[in-house]
Amino acid sequence: MTDTSVTKNATNSDSVKLTITAALFAALTCIGTMIIKIPTPTLGYIHPGDGFVLLSGLLLGPLWGGLAAGIGSGLSDLIGGYFIYVPATFIIKALTAIVAYFTFRFSSKLLKSKSNISAIIFSGIIGEAVMIFGYFIFEIFMLSIVNKTTLSAGVIASLAGIIPNIIQGVFGVIISTTLYPLLNRLSK
């Protein structure tokens, strides 16, 4: 075997491993979102799936992590009957993972550490802020355009979802901060 074929096999092996890991994280995100549901007054629910959304970004990078987070979360909405949310959820959760990844990389360099808990927490908070803002904007759109209410009524109704989304985000940050050090060690 030549050096080129060894390198090519290693690259193919890494690609297969990354694809399988991304599929696993999409499944974990979907299951984490669907299995444990705490209903909210806004007819939505709080779930631990955001922990896997953040972990997808932190462990898999922006492309594969964003896809795993978006597909897993969107699939959960599809299976759960929240059809109107599927496209928005895909985009919002993918962006949550992507922003968490870049925030983690930046803050790790700034703090000169790859396993710094502060960087994990900070990146989770910034990522979850994207989720909270994303759903706030989407629900204004949905309530104003789809339900044909006034913009001000859409904003007021959308405000009701902020507190449950903050709670969900806090759980996501706690879960990702707890699991990241273990999963990061296992992936090496």
Domain ranges, ordered by start, for the chain: 3-186
126/104 Cα distance (integer angstroms): 9
Q: pLDDT, tens digit, for every residue of 67-87?
A: 999 999 999 999 999 999 999
pTM (predicted TM-score): 0.89
Share of the chain above pLDDT 70, in %: 91
pLDDT score at 115: 61
The structural architecture, per CATH, of the domain 3-186 is Orthogonal Bundle (1.10)
Interval 112-126 mean pLDDT: 87
pLDDT score at 1: 45
H helix or E strand, kind and range, residue 38: strand 38-39
3-state secondary structure of 46: strand
Q: Which of 17-21, 45-49, 133-137 has the lowest mean pLDDT?
A: 45-49
